[in-house]
Amino acid sequence: MRCPTWVTAAEIDNWAESTIARGLLPELMRRLILATVDRANLLGINFPAREEVQRHGYDGTTLTDIKTTHVPLGLCVWELSCEDRPRQKADQDYRKRLEDRQDEDLSQLTYFAITARDWNEAAAWAEEKTAEGKFKEVRAYDSNSLEHWLLDAPAVGLWLAEQIGKRIQGVADCDTYWRNLLGTLRKELPAEILLTNRQGTAEAFAKWIASNPGLLAIRAPSPAEMVDVFVAWGHTLPPEQAASVASRAIIVDDAETWRALATSRQRLILIAGPRLEATPELLAEAKRQGHHLLRFAPFTELKGSGTIEIERMRVHDLNEALKNAGIEEREAAQLAEGAGGNFTVFRRRFAGDVGIARPEWADGVQAQDLSPLLLAAAWDQSNSNDRHVVERLAGRPYSEIENLAKRLLVVRDPPLRRVLTTWEFVSPQDALTLLHNSL
C-alpha cells in the first residue's frame, strides 16, 4: 500500500491553463514546502500569492538550515510559471535575474525554475545552468516533479484537488472542511466562536503539534465537535502557523485511506473523522509510522495522560461572542442558552437551509423512551423523591430508566450528561425541538 495520488501531472498541466492557476501556484509551493520541511528548520519563507503575485522581485524565497528531498540547505530563490512554453519562460526569468543581480552574491543561492506545465527537458536545462556557475545550484521542476512532491504532501494534494474541482471521497483538508462547516450555518461566524472558554483545549492542541508525534484523545460531546474545534483552532492561528498545520492535517473517514496515508514518509496530522471507526489497530499502525493522531473519546472513557476534555462554553461568554459576531441580541441570548455548552447543539440550532443530520436518539424507539424524561429536565439519582417522579413520568422502574440513560450517554451527540449523581439534558430546548413529536 502506498500514499494516494490525488492529483496527477496531467491534471496539474491542465490546471495551469486556468486563469486562477497563476495566482494559486505560489500558494501551492508554499504549502508543499511547509508540508515537507519541519517548522524548526524553516527559517524563512515568502511566496506572494493570489492578488499579490505582481510584486517586484523573486516569486518566492526560502531559507532552511537542513537539506530535504525537495528543498536544499540554505537560501533558495524561486521563479514560478504557468506559461505554455516553459523553456522560453525559464530562460527569460533566468536572464532577468542575472541582469538584476546588482551586488547580490548569486553563488550562495539555489535557483529554482518551477513550471506547472509538462517540461521533459527540465532536468537537462537545470544541469546546463548549474554548469554555468552563476548560482550555487539550479533546479527545475515541472508538473511531473510536482506530482511526485505531492505524494510526500498528501494534505496539499487534497487541497489542490479541491482547487481544480476534483472531489475526493472519505477525506477532507482543513480549509475545505471549514468552508463546508460555515456553509451549514445561517450566517458565517469567526472561528474564535468555537474556542469560547476553551483556552485549555487550544493550548493542548498547540503543545501536541509542537511535540513529538503521538496520539491525542479528545473527550467531546460528539466526534464532529472534536473535528470542528480542531479545525477552528487552526484557523485562529497566525497565517504561517495556520498554513503549516493545514499543510499536514487530513480528516479521514475511510479506514483504507487511513492505512494508505499512514505510509507517508512525511509527518502528517491524521484526524479520525466522525464516520471512521478508529480501531486500536488503525491507530497503532499510524503511530508506529510517526504521525500525529487525533481521535474522539466518549465521556465515559477514563481521562488519561494522553486525553483532554473539551471545555463547555459558558452561556454568558458565548452570548457576548455571538453578539460581537453580529448576531442580534435576543437571538444571541437564545442560541447561547440553548446550546448547552457545546457547538454540536449550537450548530443544529443555527443551521441554514441545508440543515444538519438528526441525532440517532431523536427518532424511533429511543425517542419514545427518552421524551417523557424531558418533563423532568434533570434529576438526582441519589434522591428517592427524584427517582419516584421520573418513574411516574416514564411509566417504568428506575433501573430501566438508568440503563437507558447510560446507553444514551455513550452515543454520538448524546442528549444527556451526568454530573456526579445528577442527570440532565445537555440542552432541554434542543431536545424539545427534536422530540416534541414523541411526547
Q: What is the pLDDT of residues 79-103, one digit of tens each?
A: 999 999 999 999 999 999 888 877 7
Helix (H) or strand (E) holding 13: helix 9-15
**pLDDT for 129-175, tens place per residue?**
999 999 999 999 999 999 999 999 999 999 999 999 998 999 999 99
Q: At which residue does the C-alpha cell 498547540 appear?
A: 206
Q: Is the pLDDT of residue 54 over 70?
A: no
| Number of Cβ atoms within 10 Å of the Cβ of 343 | 26
**Contact call for residues 376 and 391 (beta carbons, < 8 A):** no
**In terms of Cα–Cα distance, which of 23, 32, 77 is closest to 52?**
23
Q: Which residues pair with 295 in a beta bridge?
A: 217
Lowest mean pLDDT among 68-82, 284-298, 363-377, 423-437: 423-437
CA distance 333 to 318: 9
**More confident of the two residues 228 and 417:** 228
Residue 91's H or E segment, with its range, is: helix 86-99
Count the helices and strands in the chain (H runs, E runs): 19, 14
pLDDT tops 90 at residue 364: no
3-state secondary structure of 189: coil
- Tens digit of each residue's pLDDT (9 = 90 or more) over 177-211: 999 999 999 999 999 999 999 999 999 999 999 99
pLDDT reported for residue 355: 64
Nearest to 318 by CA among 309, 327, 310: 327
What CA–CA distances, in Å, run from 411 to 158, 351, 415?
A: 31, 22, 9
pLDDT over 70, % of the chain: 96
CB contact at 8 A, 115 and 88: no
pLDDT band at 326 (very low <50, low <70, confident <90, very high): very high
Q: What is the per-residue pLDDT for 120?
A: 95
Query: Chain-wide mean pLDDT for the chain?
Result: 91
Question: Count of alpha carbons within 13 Å of 293, Cβ hemisphere only?
Answer: 27
pLDDT score recorded for residue 428: 83
- Asked if 310 and 201 count as a contact pair (C-beta separation under 8 A), the reply is yes
Where is 26: in which H helix or E strand?
Answer: helix 21-36
Range with top average pLDDT, 243-257, 302-316, 337-351: 243-257
- Cα separation, 318 vs 321, in Å, equals 5
pLDDT bucket at 121, cuts 50 / 70 / 90:
very high
Residues 388, 376: Cα–Cα separation, whole Å: 11
> pLDDT digits over 288-310, tens only?
999 999 999 877 677 777 889 99
- With CA atoms as reference, report the closest residue to 160 among 13, 12, 17: 12
Question: Which candidate, 32, 15, 46, places its Cα nearest to that of 116?
Answer: 15
Q: Is the pLDDT of residue 119 over 90?
A: yes
Grade residue 251 by pLDDT with cuts at 50, 70 and 90.
Answer: very high
| Residue type for position 196 | T
Encode pLDDT of 371-415 as tens digits: 999 888 889 999 999 999 999 999 999 999 999 988 888 777 788
Asked if residue 105 has pLDDT above 90, the reply is: no
Q: How confident is the model at residue 53 (pLDDT cuts 50, 70, 90)?
A: low
% of the chain at pLDDT higher than 90: 66
Domains of the chain: 9-163 (3.40.91), 171-309 (3.40.50), 358-439 (1.10.10)
Q: What is the pLDDT, as a whole number, of residue 300?
A: 65
First to last CA, the chain: 52
The residue length of the chain stands at 439
261 near 154, Cβ under 8 Å?
A: yes
Please check the confidence at residue 26 and state whether its pLDDT lies above 70: yes
Does residue 351 contact residue 183 with C-beta atoms inside 8 Å?
no
Tell me: pLDDT of 75 over 90. yes
Query: 365 versus 328: which is more confidently predicted?
Result: 328
- Crossing angle of helices 223-235 and 174-183, in 10° steps, is 110
